[in-house]
Amino acid sequence: MLARLLGGSTRLCTVQQSIPGCTRSLSALVTPVADYGSLAVSQLQKLLEAAAIDYRDCFEKKELVQRLQENEHKLPDYLKGDLASAQHDMNRQQLAGRAASLVPADSLFLDEQYVVSLFQANRPSVVHVTSLAEARPGALHMDPIHIPQGRGSGFLWDSAGHVVTNFHVIQRASAAKVTLYNNETYNAVLRGAEPDKDLAVLKIEGGPLPFRPVSVGSSHSLQVGQKVFAIGNPFGLDQSMAAGIVSGLGREVRGITGRTIRDVVQTDAAINPGNSGGPLLDSKGRLIGVNTMIYSPSGASSGVGFAIPSDTVRRVVNQLIRYGRVIRPGLGVTCLPDQTAAGIVGPKAGVIIAEVIPGSGAAQAGLRGLRKDAQGNIVIGDVVVAVGAEHVSSVEDLVAAVERFNLGDLVPLTVKRGNQSVRKCVRLLKDING
């Protein structure tokens, strides 16, 4: 944890940098340009947030470092635990002051004024998404027409008109329309999608418009019990708001593709059909999740809703906007199927590396794949048993654990090599397998 930053051209920093399974302390006189890169991603984000520096478009660590260096003059002289509380109190007073201008002071309690102001400040960022499917009305009509297929929610990511929503909202659509809070409707095209995370990005067509993007927060510091607010279009009822709390963290749900989505935020804020793709906000009005599904046999809200955390959203959305697809960070290995590995080393005993890709991070770290001995017998090289402190027993476990890191990060692995347990740190490079 960043304990103290001193003003001037140099600063004395004490850092507790934590990666699952790796903890180290750094204490040295540093210059900002040289040593911001030694901070963990979460620490960089905390500094940027404390200085009110927007970093939604940064998804690699080096971009966070560069943004911090460019805005160093905005940093407070020190950062400590009570800063967040002080800013929270200040923001509450500011929001309450804005709310007082919207409603008579004697008609609402202070906490009600605060919630009203939060809604008024964020409703311009929330949109209604209508997915369209092609249909041919008859043999005499050769040109296809578009008919509404499904509806959901979304929100404005940036001033360029990019809209974030759930993949399942536009999954089988050939086109889409986006309706803003003022009932103006625009055509939108698909910029990219990541079905495994149930996220998609649309781009509103047309000239420059006065878009108001949502404020983006971090989900890594969420706590069970803190207040959250969902804005969306449940059952087609535009601009609806629901309030609740964070009910659970680190949940796992099965996504639309059948793959597990991990580290999902659970909330009791009412999430109904039509809320999908809308923002889940904290009490400062910052995005901390994208509402994606409910747990309910009847299909209506039962007090158990789930949202994709904003840290995952930021990483995925930035890649979809830049590349049109997600470039996955990869170790640079191929692995044996789980059933094959279980027959060799036993069930849940780890993931057997089949091949190490030349030039990859795994190759640079010295990981070993399968090989043949002088008699032509297959010899096992490394069996991955943990990522940091997290045990892995399947290929899916390994992939999910690695996805929590960013491109360029060092991932701490524990591998079994013969009868020895070996520690390796592998730098994540772009996965050449896409």
* CA–CA gap between residue 128 and residue 168 (Å, rounded): 14
Structure tokens at 227: 């207040």
Residue 265: strand pairing partners = 307
Alpha carbon 282 to its chain centroid, in Å, reads: 15
- Please, what sign has the CA dihedral across residues 347, 350, 351, 354? negative
Half-sphere exposure of 333 (CA within 13 A, CB side): 30
Which is nearest to 307 in space by CA: 232, 238, 236?
A: 232
Choice among 125, 153, 196, 198 that is catalytic? 198
Distance in angstroms (rounded) separating the CA atoms of residues 30 and 66? 16
d(CA 355, CA 133): 44
Q: Is there a catalytic annotation at residue 168?
A: yes
Alpha helix (H) residue ranges in 179-300: none
Structure tokens at 89: 């109190």
Residue 65 has phi, psi (to 5 degrees) of -60, -45
What single-letter amino acid sits at 146? H
Tokens encoding 290:
């994208």
- 258 alpha-carbon distance from chain centroid: 19
Which value, in Å, is the radius of gyration of the alpha carbons in the chain? 24
- Active-site residue flag, 276: yes
Quote the strand ranges of 236-350, DSSP E: 240-254, 260-267, 279-282, 286-294, 305-309, 329-330, 333-335
Burial 110-149 (b: 16+ CB within 10 A, else e): eeebbbbbbbebbbbbbbbbbbbeeeeeeeeeeeeebeeb
Candidates 276, 283, 301, 360; catalytic one: 276
Type of residue numbered 321: I
> For residue 137, what are the contacts with CB-CB under 8 A and spacing of at least 6?
145
- In whole angstroms, what separates CA 49 from the centre of its chain? 16
User: Which residue type does 30 have?
Assistant: V
Separation of CA 17 from chain center: 21
Q: Which of 125, 131, 168, 283 is catalytic?
A: 168
Active centre residues (catalytic) = 168, 198, 276
